[in-house]
Amino acid sequence: MVVKAFILSSILGFLMSGCVANNISKIDIHVSNVSSVGTDGGSDEFCSDFSLSVQEAQEFFTSANVISTKEMHDSFNHLPCFVRGSCVIESKICEWEIRAGGTAVVTSGSTELIFGCEECF
C-alpha cells in the first residue's frame, strides 16, 4: 500500500511538472459522489442546465485525458458552470471539479491533475 502511494505520488508529481503529461494520459478514477453544482459569480441562468450524475462524471473521466495547463488554456473554453464531487484514485480520496467547457481538476492536498475531454460536452 505504501509502495502504491509512493508510485502514485511520483507519477502525480511528474504530471504536475508537465514532464510526462503526454506519455501518461489515463488515470483510473472512481467517482464516489456529486456534492454540488454551481457557477462563477452571476452566471446562474447561463448554467441552469449544466449538471452531472455520478455516472456522467465517471463517463467524463473515462473519456478524458490528463492535460497540461497550457493545453487547457489553448484548447478549451473556461466556462463558469461546474459540478463538484469526490473520487478515489489508488484508494486515496480526492476532490474533483468538472467544468462545462470540457475540463476538470482533481485535487488531493496540494496536488492537482488537469483533465480535458473535447468530445464530452
Q: What are the cell numbers at 99?
A: 467544468
Taking the C-alpha atoms of residue 87 and residue 108, their distance in angstroms, rounded to an integer, is: 10
The mean pLDDT of 68-77, rounded to a whole number, is: 96
DSSP state of 119: T
Q: Which domain holds residue 41?
A: 2-116
Number of domains making up the chain: 1
Helix runs in 39-96, H state only: 54-63, 69-75
- 6 has pLDDT over 50: no
Query: Is there a domain that residue 21 lies in?
Result: yes
Residue 72 lies in a domain: yes
Nearest to 94 by CA among 15, 18, 25, 35: 35
- pLDDT for 16: 42
- Report if residue 121 sits inside a domain: no
> Does a structural domain hold residue 12?
yes
Is residue 19 very low, low, confident or very high in pLDDT (cuts 50, 70, 90)? Answer: very low
56 within 8 A of 121, measured Cβ to Cβ: no
